[in-house]
Structure 1
Amino acid sequence: MTVTAGGTYSAVASRSDGGELDRLDAWWRAANYLAVGQIYLLDNPLLTHPLRPEDIKPRLLGHWGTTPGLTFLWAHLNRVIKRRGIDTLFVTGPGHGGPAVVATAWLEGTYTERFPDVSRDAAGMARLFRQFSFPGGIPSHAAPETPGSIHEGGELGYSLAHAYGAALDNPGLLVACVIGDGEAETGPLAASWHANKFLNPVSDGTVLPILHLNGYKIANPTVLARIPERELLALLEGYGHEPFVVEIAVDEDHLAVHARMAAAMDRIMTSIAGIRARAARGELTERPRWPVLVLRSPKGWTGPAVVDGLPIEGTWRAHQVPLSRVREDPAHLAQLEEWMRSYRPQELFDAEGGPVPELRALAPLGERRMSASPHANGGELLEPLRLPDFRKHMVDVPEPGGATAEATRVLGGWVRDVIRANPSNFRLVGPDEVASNRLQDVFEVTDRQFEGELLATDEHQSPHGRVLEVLSEHLSEGWLEGYLLTGRHGLFTCYEAFIHIIDSMLNQHAKWIKVSRSIPWRRPIASLNYLLTSHVWRQDHNGFSHQDPGFIDHVVNKKSEIVRVYLPPDANTLLSVMDHCLRSRDQINVVVAGKQPAPQWLAPDAALAHASRGIGLWEWASNDAGTVPDVVLACCGDVPTLETLAAVSLLRRHLPELRVRVVNVVDLMRLQNAGEHPHGLSDREYDALFPPGTPVIFAFHGYPWLIHRLTYRRHNHEDLHVRGYKEEGTTTTPFDMLMLNDLDRFHLVADVIDRVPDLGVRYAALRQHMFDERMRCRAHTRRTGEDAPDVRDWVWTG
């Protein structure tokens, strides 16, 4: 066997005898036959009679183009697994290759184990075919219903990040990640090539990226398939990889192809084993150059070469369904039958329709089957976190407002202890903001993991850290998703405005969880937890580009059983909320908290009770004394809470007879009805806090219409007036930001005067005074560059 510069194979593998190659080819043919059957057939799975129109599905859905390359790779990885006894996870970047991974799971027996009615016989094969992309059946992607999958791939770009997340803290695991050449054009995938700079060759597993170049996406050529070979190899080498290339021509002898592929895989696995052995002995003096496999195969390989006079195999026309009019066109029907019979199914399946013994023997055993890997069903491996007592980190608050603290800095001390107590199954990830977000106490017990060059001026960088920071929200999110899906725990911290970058990734993860919860064999996984800080109300120094609280709106679009949103008003409540989030399963938890010094409102016991309720009447700030109040001042978020209490203080001074009730919301979903969200309040509970007919002035952290959306069915919705962010921002002072959006204390007092009956006429002078105060504060900021001392240094006095 020889390898050219750059790793292109041209010789037959000496270790693979003809019998092994024949068996590999038979397994591959069987998988391809099953894949074609899924796309086309309603019945007649073994072609026991000539195909008839009624054997064909009325709607042909699915993607053939990438499928034969995926089945080819699966076959050769099985060979490696059996020879070397390696635990392997298969990540399918081209998610439209669903027919391939469903076919291989059925061949290996895993599909029948998970779905006994899809048996390994003719009847089960018929069910397998019928259900694919069929009403009441399964999707065309590598979805949660697909054994062995952690990655649907319906939206491209995330496969490699997921693969590296799966490999973290899994030193015995090989993650084979197939990257479609269309996917390789996406931004998230481009950033993910740098993940090899973070993988520790001793304590983490191995990722084998497989760049599957078949030349086309839906209707266009792909970039990496059309650049010169030297440029492609230089790119991959520049990313830090050693490339190995296997190139396949349309009409090439299949045994020769299998021989070259087997040789390439042997060389790759020898390289990986050598790297890991040298790392274990401490002999690596620089970051290893991990292998990357480039497989150039024809799009739609082994499918129809020409249809209706147009070339198909090896072109973009093979992307989806090569023969599109099989029911109505006898020529297409005949061509489909010829195509399926070309795989010689009579050699592959026995009289009952099951794989012949020779094929069954080619699959690894038990959990070594990639379709049965417990890493692809992470809940099977999940161990609860050992969570230290967060109450030991709580701030002493002798009276409301009687202490000052930075909420996320307090949380950082507890997260430090979480990392110490869970040294191999918890990760803190984020885009270069752990210290900026005041969680730097974690560096007392760990470092940032990094395999690149380190300088004497670097701090808290090593190959062994538990913190992963890279300036790509996509890569950070992908790492954490892969880590969670394979049975571990973590926390993503980010500036609030820029978490939007992963909106679509959250969509896909939420959909995965939603479907997984309905599949009995999918075990619950740890929740995806976000800590959003450096938030809209304290990004006054960075300006308008950093001011956006809309991620909350995006999250609440997801299924109610999946999403939770928390806005704790102080450090003690934040600790309780985060402890709850890290204990939860199969959810997406978004926690928004400030990092700046701020008044602390609740003593430890009160914070525990308040966090547990999720919403509560603050009697210490209210003066309605159990009667129906004249007005309810509600607040959600740390800065809106402070402004609400400052407004209450002004009302007590100027309108002491006014009965004011203060309601604070921690769990945003408590505002919904109990029939709409599991955390929702019943109408009776809601009405007890917000009596019908009573004006409610609601100070909210985010966009005000979200509160209206959550409460539009409530009895007193017409009495609800919400203040929040209304897309006004700039580089200014914190209080000026509030005034720009009419969320300041003076405007809240004016809102009370406007909305409580009879106050508007009697207290017009007070209302005017409130706006005079706003003018005074704005003039002060324009003159001095800082907020007026009476606003900046305000304290609650009861």
Structure 2
Amino acid sequence: MTLATTPQTKPLTDEELQKINAYWRAANYLSVGQIYLLDNPLLREPLKLEHVKPRLLGHWGTTPGLNFIYVHLNRLIKKYDLNTIYIAGPGHGGPGLVANTYLEGTYTEYYHNISQDAEGMKKLFKQFSFPGGIPSHVAPETPGSIHEGGELGYALVHAYGAAFDNPDLIVAAVVGDGEAETGALATSWHSNKFLNPVRDGAVLPILHLNGYKIANPTTLSRISHDELESLFVGYGYKPYFVEGEDPADVHQQMAATLETAIAEIQSIQREARVHGFTERPQWPMIVMRTPKGWTGPKEVDGKKTEGSWRSHQVPFGNIAKQPDHLRLLEDWMKSYKPEELFDADGKLIPELAELAPKKHRRMGDNPHANGGILLHDLKIPDFQDYAVDVAEPGKAIAEATKVTGKFLRDIMRLNQESSNFRIFAPDELASNRLDPVLEVTDRVSTAEIYPEDDHLSADGRVMEILSETSCQGWLEGYLLTGRHGFFTCYEAFIHIIDSMFNQHAKWLKTTRHIPWRRPIASLNYLLTSHVWRQDHNGFSHQDPGFIDHVLNKKAEIVRVYLPPDANTLLSVTDHCLKSRNYVNVIIAGKQPALQYLNMDAAIKHCTKGIGIWEWASNDKGGDPDVVLACAGDIPTLETLAAVDILRQHFADLKVRVVNVVDLMTLQPKTEHPHGLSEKDFDTLFTTDKPVIFAFHGYPWLIHRLTYRHTNHKNIHVRGYKEEGTTTTPFDMVVVNDLDRFHLVIDVIDRVPKLGSKAAYVKQQMQDKLIEHKHYIQKYGDDVPEIRDWKWPY
């Protein structure tokens, strides 16, 4: 590893330095104006209290640094015709990115009412952190953004996701030093071990060290220069340092350092693209150490402000009660000399406006930051070609995810040339039976590879790292810049990205109502190794609760599918990969299991999302005595086994079996576009008959989805109730009362017509449960009649 030395040259002429500093002043002025002002945007009259917002919100501390970096990137983009996007990691740097996109003209092009004049500036200021306006962070409403700045930790991983398979793109990723303390960000530094300079773009990390969070110093700002340098050399980077308080000096440092970093990036890529990949390069990065709240008030009320935590948010916020703060604000804003920056109409003067790149080279208008513009449909083979032959329901056996793995393999093959599809997995691709994909591609790694490594190369298109947050972040960056992806994970551990899912879902909801944001490919999860087949790993691996978390989001965004067998999983996967602007959650088993539907029946069933399985029911031509509903592969198995028992003992009992693939169908039509109408729900579940519902997840979710329906009072749900251990597969359902014997007992308890015979059958079911416990404790496996059961009709 080579240690970087900060370039000592001064590449900026006096005129360039003056113009860049003036442009930076303009961005800072607009940023302060957004935080504070309602009116008098150019300070053409003395500042009055009525010109100031009554509620002062936003964050100043990080903003001048973000503005500083932006103007310097503009210079390099123009000089070298770079294709660059900007990711602002520091949480609430919104005023800076809005200010810069306004100065370059992009903001006005997207929001015509925010014109580049005094009236438009007034609207720009008022809308910030104001009812009916825009958020204080870099949000979907901000042109050029693919990164929601409201939550910290994901800037760098989003940047790498954007760079994969974008060979001409440079992603400038500004990492806040508070953000750098998060676990997700700490792992993200290792993304450089997955970046192949032959086919990928580049990420230029810029660690923005300004020393403080809301009230405390940041960890990385309080370690020595040598220790900090060693840390990033250890991560595999070549760190350059830009440090100081004097703008003129720091401008020259940044200009020289960016020139060096861009030259190194281009040299790395040129070497790899001419001679092929040989070893992981040492990519450059920048550590920029400047004061927090740079150029802001030095002191407020006798207390240090610039260069301290006091400048993190609003440096002074009680203007109504402290009139001297009004003068302080006016002096602060006038220190930027707006009269030198904007003409009589309030427009940025031409000699400064020319510093910004043109058209799509502007970072606010780069098409990669509005990924739907670049999105092309995947080439997808006909999923029916992968069908499992199901001559009769419930007799054939197959591994659902293994079958889908062959489908994904050929999707990967068909899209190799277009380089727009990757699979993401936290070290679980093979475990989840999707390893057929490795027949056409490898797992990617640009780190050292040993001969005994399995399907590992720099050219791979499977992204595996034992970090769910990295997989999620890479995928989000990949999707948001116009590509397609697929994320497979153990069901219990997908919870690790709960908060990241939240942010992406919120992003999608917001962008649906922004006309210039184009739809992107859906985020598709395949969760397997699920709760009902984690008997070998035990309690820690048993948690189906991600469904509950997902269903908190708006109906226009989320979809949850529980395909019961291989053919339904194929149909659902094909549908999800073709969809746009959703988060699709698919939950399916990976173990050998009974297959129920041939492909024709599977397509019809998945298209409806819910339906009566006529072949398993015996109520045709009349009303059922009981409805047995099921959602999920193991609940479906136990439901059908219960039906078998009921048929053996109660020949006259009319049973209807309803299987649910699309969980959203259970909601009323008024709550979700996939929901059933009241009439259709009543047709399936009746208005007054008992419904025994075997569900994959926590039982109360079904009640939550169906409580508005007519027959909700008669719905009894069996599901996971937080009972589990290392045991046998069937015992997992027994300890949660989801097994066939409990389902039969539920029917007996709710159908009065079964009469006196029911008492004997109920006792027999209880005896079966006792026999089961004794058997597994003696033999360590399930009773053969249970383990080997097949649908007998």
Shorter-chain TM-score: what band?
A: over 0.9
Structure 1 equivalent of residue 225 of structure 2: 229
Q: 3-state SS of the aligned residue for 2:85? A: strand
Query: Is the 2:629–2:693 Cα contact (8 Å) retained in structure 1?
Result: yes
Distance in 2 (CA, whole Å) between partners of 1:196 and 1:579 is 32
Work out which of the residue numbers 723, 732, 741 in structure 2 matches 1:728: 723
Work out which of the residue numbers 125, 131, 152 in structure 2 matches 1:129: 125
Structure 2 equivalent of residue 586 of structure 1: 581
Matched, 1:483 2:478: yes
Residues 102-113 of structure 1 aligned to structure 2 (within 5 Å) = 102-113=98-109
Shifted more, 280-289 versus 525-534: the winner is 280-289
Distance in 1 (CA, whole Å) between partners of 2:511 and 2:295 is 34
Q: 3-state SS of the aligned residue for 1:99? A: helix
Query: Is the 2:519–2:581 Cα contact (8 Å) retained in structure 1?
Result: yes
Matching residue's letter, 2:597: L
Structure 2 equivalent of residue 210 of structure 1: 206
Note the alpha carbon deviations across 1:127-183, whole angstroms, 9 max, x for none: 000000000000001000000001112110011110000000000000000000000
Q: 3-state SS of the aligned residue for 1:507? A: helix
Note the alpha carbon deviations across 1:249-285, whole angstroms, 9 max, x for none: 2xx2x22221111011111111111111111122664
Residues 451-462 of structure 1 aligned to structure 2 (within 5 Å) = 451-462=446-457
Shifted more, 124-133 versus 397-406: the winner is 397-406
Matched, 1:368 2:361: yes
Work out which of the residue numbers 594, 598, 603 in structure 2 matches 1:599: 594
Residues 329-344 of structure 1 aligned to structure 2 (within 5 Å) = 329-344=322-337
Note the alpha carbon deviations across 1:530-570, whole angstroms, 9 max, x for none: 00000000000000000000000000000011000000000
Structure 2 equivalent of residue 11 of structure 1: 8
Distance in 2 (CA, whole Å) between partners of 1:134 and 1:395 is 57
Distance in 2 (CA, whole Å) between partners of 1:224 and 1:38 is 30
Distance in 2 (CA, whole Å) between partners of 1:784 and 1:402 is 26
Note the alpha carbon deviations across 1:686-723, whole angstroms, 9 max, x for none: 00000011000000000000000000111011100000
Displacement of 1:329 in angstroms is: 1.8
Work out which of the residue numbers 306, 309, 325 in structure 2 matches 1:316: 309
Query: Is the 2:40–2:47 Cα contact (8 Å) retained in structure 1?
Result: yes
Matching residue's letter, 1:712: Y
Structure 2 equivalent of residue 219 of structure 1: 215
Note the alpha carbon deviations across 1:636-668, whole angstroms, 9 max, x for none: 000000000000000000011000000000000
Q: 3-state SS of the aligned residue for 2:142? A: coil
Q: 3-state SS of the aligned residue for 2:752? A: coil
Structure 2 equivalent of residue 420 of structure 1: 413
Displacement of 1:10 in angstroms is: 7.0
Query: Is the 1:397–1:603 Cα contact (8 Å) retained in structure 2?
Result: yes
Displacement of 1:358 in angstroms is: 1.1
Note the alpha carbon deviations across 1:501-533, whole angstroms, 9 max, x for none: 000000000000000000000000000000000
Displacement of 1:8 in angstroms is: 5.2
Structure 2 equivalent of residue 385 of structure 1: 378
Displacement of 1:760 in angstroms is: 6.4
Query: Is the 1:54–1:327 Cα contact (8 Å) retained in structure 2?
Result: no
Note the alpha carbon deviations across 1:329-365, whole angstroms, 9 max, x for none: 2210001000001001001101110111011100001
Query: Is the 1:754–1:760 Cα contact (8 Å) retained in structure 2?
Result: no
Structure 2 equivalent of residue 447 of structure 1: 442
Displacement of 1:309 in angstroms is: 0.6
Structure 1 equivalent of residue 620 of structure 2: 625
Distance in 2 (CA, whole Å) between partners of 1:546 and 1:397 is 32
Work out which of the residue numbers 262, 286, 295 in structure 1 matches 2:288: 295
Work out which of the residue numbers 705, 708, 711 in structure 1 matches 2:706: 711
Distance in 2 (CA, whole Å) between partners of 1:274 and 1:635 is 59
Q: 3-state SS of the aligned residue for 2:175? A: strand
Work out which of the residue numbers 391, 399, 412 in structure 1 matches 2:392: 399
Displacement of 1:758 in angstroms is: 3.9
Work out which of the residue numbers 608, 614, 638 in structure 2 matches 1:613: 608
Structure 2 equivalent of residue 188 of structure 1: 184
Distance in 2 (CA, whole Å) between partners of 1:756 and 1:133 is 59
Work out which of the residue numbers 17, 20, 25 in structure 2 matches 1:24: 20
Query: Is the 2:198–2:276 Cα contact (8 Å) retained in structure 1?
Result: no
Note the alpha carbon deviations across 1:35-73, whole angstroms, 9 max, x for none: 000000000000010100000000000000000000000
Matching residue's letter, 1:191: T
Matched, 1:280 2:273: yes
Q: 3-state SS of the aligned residue for 1:244? A: strand
Displacement of 1:765 in angstroms is: 1.2
Q: For this pair of structures, how many residues does the alignment match?
A: 790
Matched, 1:351 2:344: yes
Query: Is the 2:627–2:692 Cα contact (8 Å) retained in structure 1?
Result: yes
Displacement of 1:403 in angstroms is: 1.1
Distance in 2 (CA, whole Å) between partners of 1:144 and 1:281 is 38
Matching residue's letter, 1:711: T
Q: Percent identity?
A: 65
Displacement of 1:11 in angstroms is: 3.3
Q: 3-state SS of the aligned residue for 2:496? A: helix
Displacement of 1:9 in angstroms is: 3.3
Work out which of the residue numbers 94, 101, 123 in structure 1 matches 2:97: 101
Displacement of 1:328 in angstroms is: 2.9
Structure 1 equivalent of residue 56 of structure 2: 60
Matched, 1:518 2:513: yes
Structure 2 equivalent of residue 468 of structure 1: 463
Matching residue's letter, 2:205: P
Query: Is the 1:53–1:328 Cα contact (8 Å) retained in structure 2?
Result: no
Query: Is the 2:66–2:93 Cα contact (8 Å) retained in structure 1?
Result: yes
Displacement of 1:747 in angstroms is: 0.6
* Normalised TM-score (structure 1): 0.98
Distance in 2 (CA, whole Å) between partners of 1:307 and 1:292 is 35
What RMSD, in angstroms, separates the aligned Cα atoms of the two structures?
1.0
Matching residue's letter, 1:724: G
Query: Is the 1:630–1:694 Cα contact (8 Å) retained in structure 2?
Result: yes
Structure 2 equivalent of residue 795 of structure 1: 790
Matched, 1:495 2:493: no
Displacement of 1:370 in angstroms is: 0.4
Displacement of 1:626 in angstroms is: 2.8
Q: 3-state SS of the aligned residue for 1:95? A: coil
Matched, 1:645 2:640: yes
Note the alpha carbon deviations across 1:598-637, whole angstroms, 9 max, x for none: 0100011000100100000000000001311000000000
Shifted more, 758-767 versus 216-225: the winner is 758-767
Distance in 1 (CA, whole Å) between partners of 2:400 and 2:351 is 63
Matching residue's letter, 2:331: E
Note the alpha carbon deviations across 1:280-312, whole angstroms, 9 max, x for none: 122664210000100001000000000001000
Query: Is the 2:564–2:633 Cα contact (8 Å) retained in structure 1?
Result: yes
Matching residue's letter, 1:788: V
Query: Is the 1:246–1:261 Cα contact (8 Å) retained in structure 2?
Result: yes
Matching residue's letter, 2:593: A
Distance in 2 (CA, whole Å) between partners of 1:402 and 1:761 is 34
Query: Is the 2:7–2:260 Cα contact (8 Å) retained in structure 1?
Result: no
Distance in 2 (CA, whole Å) between partners of 1:628 and 1:10 is 83
Query: Is the 1:6–1:245 Cα contact (8 Å) retained in structure 2?
Result: no
Structure 1 equivalent of residue 523 of structure 2: 528
Matching residue's letter, 1:124: G
Structure 2 equivalent of residue 48 of structure 1: 44
Distance in 2 (CA, whole Å) between partners of 1:681 and 1:146 is 37
Matching residue's letter, 1:660: V
Segments of 4+ in structure 1 off by > 3 A? 5-12, 758-762
Distance in 2 (CA, whole Å) between partners of 1:513 and 1:36 is 29
Work out which of the residue numbers 740, 749, 755 in structure 1 matches 2:750: 755
Q: 3-state SS of the aligned residue for 2:554? A: coil
Q: 3-state SS of the aligned residue for 1:90? A: strand
Matching residue's letter, 2:40: N
Displacement of 1:94 in angstroms is: 0.9
Matching residue's letter, 1:354: K
Q: 3-state SS of the aligned residue for 1:763? A: helix
Residues 754-773 of structure 1 aligned to structure 2 (within 5 Å) = 754-759=749-754, 761-773=756-768
